[in-house]
Amino acid sequence: MTGSVTVIGLGPGDPRLLTPAAQDALAQAQDLIGYIPYVARVPERPDLVRHASDNRVEVDRARQALELAASGRRVAVVSGGDPGVFAMAAAVFEAVEAGDPAWRRLDIRVEPGITAMLAAAASLGAPLGGDFCALSLSDNLKPWPVITARLEAVLRADFVVALYNPISSARPWQLGAALGLAAEIRAPGTPVMLARAVSRPDEAIRVLTLAEAREASADMATLVIIGASATRLIPRGDGERPFVYTPRSVPA
């Protein structure tokens, strides 16, 4: 089979945060598949067929990519951030595992991207300096009790926690519930960072306490980072946002 599927991470938004390898893979693609806002981030080209879809089931999108590749096309599947983080790469492999055995002989690759958590952390300072974990709060693909059980476990283990998909119009209450759970386990003064649209023109990053964050609003373009007990702020004055960091060392 001559066709290929490359699952490409577009990074958090700023085109300068797209890797050169991802750029090369996009330049070689004949078909472009992805959620509308991500496809829109790839410049148009007369020889590139665009298949933008709204938030349809990811595995269907993956199957479409594999069918096109099986017919000989070079297909790029795009995700924001990194495609392996709550995004299309796993959907492609799920489709391969369940689909036509011939798909396993296709040239399938993943091009990494800078995930929202790392872009947000870099803007804030070094909040992920110690041990951390990432959770998606979306209960589209997993039951809510699983999410709360995992969240409770990592909060008790004192990880810094990055929350993807904190809220959406269809899921308005999950972030409040997650921060409520955090408030049962962590001190009210724990730093909580709401990083919205990191590296895009409408970027807005807030450093709050856990108590303040429970009153704050967030949207689906926001990545939430809940500090651990060691996470600290360095105030800077003049209305500037403090630096946020978590020391690497943990006292014995």
Site for ligand SAH in 35-74 (CB under 6 A): none
Please report, as a single letter, which amino acid is at residue 225.
I
Closest approach of ligand SAH to the CB of residue 108, in Å: 18
Segments in the chain forming alpha helices (H): 20-28, 36-39, 58-70, 88-98, 116-124, 144-156, 174-185, 210-213
For residue 56, give every residue at least 6 positions away whose Cβ sits within 8 Å of its Cβ, in sequence order, or none: none
Shortest separation between residue 162's beta carbon and ligand SAH, angstroms: 9
Residue 12 found at the interface with ligand SAH (CB under 6 A): yes
Bridge partners of residue 226, in order along the sequence:
161, 192
Identified binder of ligand SAH from the candidate list 48, 59, 126, 197, rule CB under 6 A = 197
- Which one of the spans 33-41, 53-61, 115-123, 240-248 is the region binding ligand SAH (CB under 6 A)? 115-123
Tell me, residue by residue from 155 to 194, as one string, x for binding to ligand SAH by CB under 6 A and - for no binding.
---------xxx----------------------------
Indicate which single residue of 5, 182, 195, 228 sits in contact with ligand SAH (rule: CB under 6 A): 195
Residue with smaller CB distance to ligand SAH, 70 or 194? 194
Q: How far is the CB of 30 from ligand SAH (least distance, A)?
A: 23
Residue nearest to ligand SAH (CB): 81
Query: Which of 167, 164, 207, 162 lies closest to 189, judged by CA?
Result: 207
CA angle 98, 49, 26 (to 5 degrees): 80
Phi, psi at 229, each rounded to 5°: -65, -25
Min separation Cβ 208 and ligand SAH, Å: 16
Question: What single string gives the DSSP state of each residue in 169-228?
Answer: TTB-SHHHHHHHHHHHHS-TT-EEEEEESTTSTT-EEEEEEHHHHTTS---TTEEEEE--
Q: Does residue 134 touch ligand SAH according to CB under 6 A?
A: no
Closest among 162, 151, 157, 148 to 191, alpha carbons compared: 162
Comparison of 89 and 95: residue with beta carbon closer to ligand SAH: 89
Please give the residue ranges that form the binding site for ligand SAH (CB under 6 A).
12-13, 79-82, 85-87, 115-116, 120, 164-166, 195-200, 220-223
